Amino acid sequence: MDIMSKYIRFDCTDAVTNDIESEFANLLRKADNVRHAFKENPLPLFTQLDNKEDLSAMQALGETIQEGAKRVVVLGTGGSSLGAQVLVQ
């Protein structure tokens, strides 16, 4: 036992418990606020996966490609929407 541990004891068992609980409760409130705001006014980016309007057209295109194409070339253009923009233009 060294001289420090002989005279000084460190006990941090409850040092941050209340702080952590308080901060966690605060974060939960903030998350609930965000969840409520999203339900009231959802962003299209996060709801697009629920959109089924183009599904039948995409399935028809897939069947056409499957029946008549020997090869499919995918051009990587980078970015999240640039591929669609290239195809449209």
The span from the CA of 47 to the CA of 89, in Å, is 25
**With 90 as the cut, is the pLDDT of residue 6 above it?**
no
**Surface-to-core class of residue 16, CB atoms within 10 Å of its CB (0-12 exposed, 13-18 middle, 19+ buried):** exposed
The span from the CA of 56 to the CA of 82, in Å, is 23
Domain boundaries, the chain: 9-88
Query: Residue 29: what pLDDT?
Result: 95
Cβ of 65: how many Cβ atoms within 10 Å? Answer: 10
Query: Residue 16: what pLDDT?
Result: 67
Taking only the tens place, the pLDDT of each residue in 59-80 is 998 888 888 888 888 776 666 6
Q: Please, what is the average pLDDT of the chain?
A: 81
**With 90 as the cut, is the pLDDT of residue 3 above it?**
no
Look at 5-9, 23-27, 72-76, 79-83 and tell me which has the smallest mean pLDDT: 79-83
